[in-house]
Structure 1
Amino acid sequence: MTLAVCRIGRRCRLLNLTNCVSFSNTLKDSKEVSQILLRRTEIAGTRQLACPTGAIDVTRSCILLPGGRTARYSTTVAQPHSDLPSVTSDQQQEKAVILNTDIEADLQDLESLPPLSPLEEISENEAVQIDADPPISPASFSLKDYVDRSETLQKLVNLGVDLSKIEKRPNVANVLLRLDFEKDVSKILLFLKDVGLEDHQLGPYLTKNPFILSEDLENLQTRVAYLSRKKFGKEAITRMVSRAPYLLNFSVERLDNRLGFFQKELGLSAEKTRDLVTRFPRMVTGSLEPVRENLKVCEIELGFRKNEIQHIALRVPKLLTSNKKKLTETFDYVHNKMGIPHHIIIKFPQVFNTNLLRLKERHQYLTFLGRAVYDPTQPNYVSLDKIASLPNDCFCDEVAKTSVQEFEHFLKTL
């Protein structure tokens, strides 16, 4: 920008010199004007140049030009000073010739200047003089661009935090860039270690829940103290915090409401509620709507009694937050297609976590072999748990009594 301004200023100066040359040429066309200028030059030669401290007398005159035009010019006459040398008419003429030569050279430079271009190459000295504006921050950016300038980000990366996952979440980048590691982050890390997290767990934990770095330390300590008052052991708290990273972001009031909800809806005792939450802490931090809906589905659509639902929930807590469609489809196939009654399903609730396609393939294979016997009072009884949980080689060897190749060949015929 500075280089462009300098060039514009140079062009303006050369244009002014051009006007002076044009004016001088016009004066030369008049013989009378030349004589007048010569007489004034001779008079000026007998006088002395103005000194820095002397008074300056400026006299303005008007000269008649050809065509009836007039031109105004001014002469400056300084008070005499004995210390300065006088200027003769020959010296004045010599200076006029030099001035005309300089003007012609500047005009030639003006004509030879190339057009300005943003792609024009410049020297190093010119580049140093350019006063460039700072770059504008992009609308979207990556945190890795700020790692070199942020001590906080550097140390978080050393801990194992995945910045590529964090930056995809709204407002997280702004939070991290405003944090000071020694002042804000280190105390949270020490707190998490006191809770029971190992060094190798800190990075993955902060990747999942970076917002804990902006939480007040006193509030975090209060929430852990609340869990201790509810008789959660230290190992249970460590397990809950590591498996449900957002647990400590919940206020004491919110935690109390969540625990009360599960205890009331399932009709559990305080001890069983602690056991349920410790085994599956994510249902405390997740939405409660799927839990309410699945409890109604189990009771109304699937036909389980409340005590049976309680038993299933304690054995398979994930069922409370599972997909409603998957839950109903699995029950429909096990109960209606395989003919397994409610009281047997309650004994093996893990069937709801089984892949439905694998369950269908194994049931059809046993039916083909004549071994689909699910009544425990009958010979060759097949446990629902074995169908749901055993790998293919064990299933073929222990249940189907065939080889894996025969089972795979059968699957190709479906």
Structure 2
Amino acid sequence: MASSSTQLCLQCRSLLLSKTVASTWQYSSQVRHCSTVTRLSTKFLNGSTIIKANHTTSQTRQRWKQQMFYYNHITAKHLSTEADKEDKGTEELSEVNVVAYKSSLLPIRDAVPVSESQMALDLDAAAELSAVEEIDDKEAVSITVPSAMPPASTSLRDYVDKSETLSKLVQLGVNLWKLEQRPNVGSMLLRLNFNTDVAPRLLFLKEIGVEDSRFGYIITHNPFILTESVENLQARVNYLKLKKFSSETVASMVSRAPYLLNFSVKRLDNRLGFYQQQLNLSASNTRNVLARLPRLLCSSLEPVKENLKVCEIELGFKQNEIQHMVIAVPKVLTANKRKLTQIFDFLHNTMKVPHQLIAKFPQVLNTKFLRVRERHLFLEYLGKAQYDPTLPNYISLDRLVSVPDETFCTEVALAALNDFYLFQKTL
């Protein structure tokens, strides 16, 4: 009798557990479905994410968590006493039914024993509302997000309102859109403090004579001057003054060549020595050339060396002629090689102008090729293209290229301006 009762109990328990597993998995699937649907409804307010959940779904999720913890506790007790229940016969049936009924709340998992205190803490944690808590509109509007810089952006414009340094630089006339195109410059500016990093450098520039209106131009072209120490900047200014550049000249050079003060004293000294030796100029003429074109001290020396070779070897100018051209027009040293040879070829081979006349008026090498060509062809059309100073009706190269169109027509070509414009259309 006892054996048959025991078998009956075991069969009942198996039946109940199988039904429990099926119903529990169905219930679990419904809850997961509810949570999945809940996560789809999302809205953004004031930069914070608020998940608008259905109130019924939130209550279902909370009951699910409470039942999970309760089931773990009951299951642990059941497993610890299961061996004793095997020998108690019919009394086991009632307890197995209770356990089976409780276990119908959840699918069977690996049971982990938990203490009552731990279960209480877990229930309290489950009771706390998370990101899926439903809040009303009034409470949502009251949520404040602390002001902070955007974590990432492709434009410095997004940081101007948040950064005192950037806002002050904009007021000084700095073009941030140019700086943000250069790698790592934007992040460098954001790390600078205006009072401790920017202001001392601006005061230094003002003390050496740079006008306030030039601050924006200097920083736009050379933002790295803000990272140079004031002591190094002062040492470089002192060196230029030691080389007999006046204070006004130094201020003008810094204003027109923003990278000048980023060069060390040794490098500046090497550049000065290079131009004096290569051009065989006196110290006074060297200062004159560099003061008029200070970017010669900052730019690469390779284009300068190449132009000097072009003038001497390809164009055939003598050393003294090159010296005269550089002193008169320093931009000859940095002119585009193709443009330089194109204008010279037209002057020397088409207009038949000798080397000494070109060296006497080197500004013709710095003008636009189209202007030289149009005016010469117009004079040739009128029969007035005469550039030999020893012959009558001589036209100097200076007046050929330097005067505006109206003056060129009335004083040089002695023709109407409209006639010149009509001639340009035939070219």
Q: What residue identity is the alignment partner of 1:196?
A: G
Equivalent position amino acid for 1:224 in 2: V
The question of whether the paired residues in 2 share the 8 Å contact of 1:62 and 1:70 is answered with no
- In 1, the alpha carbon distance for the partners of 2:380 and 2:226 equals 57
Pair 1:186-2:199 in alignment: yes
Equivalent residue, structure 2, for 1:12: 64
Distance in 1 (alpha carbons) for counterparts of 2:153 and 2:258: 27
Measured in 2, the distance between the counterparts of 1:244 and 1:122 equals 61
The aligned amino acid for 1:64 is L
Write out per-residue CA displacement over residues 332-380 of structure 1, whole angstroms, 9 at most, x where no aligned residue. Answer: 0000000000011111100011111111111111111110111111111
Q: Distance in 2 between matches of 1:8 and 1:247?
A: 72
Whether the aligned pair in 1 keeps the contact of 2:307 and 2:333 (CA below 8 Å) is: yes
Q: Compared with structure 1, are the counterparts of its residues 269 and 136 closer, same or farther at alpha carbon in structure 2 (3 Å cutoff)?
A: closer
Which residue number in structure 1 is paired with residue 320 of structure 2?
A: 307
Structure showing greater relative contact order (alpha-carbon pairs closer than 8 Å, 6 or more residues apart): 2
Q: Conserved in 2, the CA contact under 8 Å of 1:142 and 1:167? A: yes
- Return 5+ residue gaps in structure 2 as ranges: 1-48, 72-89, 101-130
Q: Which residue, out of 394, 397, 409, partners 2:422?
A: 409
| Secondary structure at the counterpart of residue 262 of structure 1 | helix
Q: Please point out which of 268, 272, 277 is paired with 1:255.
A: 268
Deviation at 1:162, TM superposition (A): 2.1
Q: What residue is the counterpart of 1:145 in the other structure? A: 158
C-alpha deviations, 1:202-254, integer Å up to 9, x for none? 12222221111110110000000000111100111011100100000000011
- 1:353 is matched with which residue? 366
- Aligned 1:300-339 pairs, distance under 5 A: 300-339=313-352
Q: Is the 8 A contact 2:149 2:162 kept in 1?
A: no
Cα distance in 1, alignment partners of residues 152 and 135 from structure 2: 31
- Identity across the alignment (%): 55
Which of these residues, 93, 104, 122, is aligned with residue 64 of structure 1? 93
Instruction: Give per-residue Cα distances to partners, 1:149-191, cap 9 Å, x unaligned.
Output: 2222222222222222222222212222122222121111110
Gaps of 5+ in 1: 20-60, 74-116
Question: RMSD in angstroms over aligned alpha carbons?
Answer: 3.4
Q: 1:164 aligns with which of 155, 173, 177?
A: 177
Task: Specify whether residues 266 and 137 from structure 1 end up closer, same or farther in structure 2 by C-alpha distance, changes over 3 A only.
Answer: same
- Asked if the contact 1:331/1:352 (under 8 Å) is kept, the reply is yes
Q: Cα gap change, 1:320/1:11 in structure 2, threshold over 3 Å: closer, same or farther?
A: farther
Q: Does the alignment pair 1:274 with 2:287? A: yes
Bigger Rg, which one: 1
Shift of 1:17: 11
1:229 corresponds, among 220, 225, 242, to 242
Shift of 1:283: 1.4
1:382 corresponds in structure 2 to 395
Q: Which residue of 1 aligns with 2:258?
A: 245
Distance 1:384 1:17, change over 3 A: closer
Please give the secondary structure, in 2, of the residue aligned with 1:402: coil
Instruction: Determine the structure 2 residue equivalent to 1:370.
Output: 383
Q: TM-score, normalising length from structure 2? A: 0.70
The aligned runs of 1:19-38 (5 Å cut-off) are none
Partners of 1:333 and 1:121 in 2: how far apart? 82
Cα distance in 1 for partners of 2:380, 2:386 equals 9
SS of corresponding position for 1:64:
helix
Q: Alpha-carbon deviations, 1:109-128, whole Å to 9, x = none?
A: xxxxxxxx99x985247758
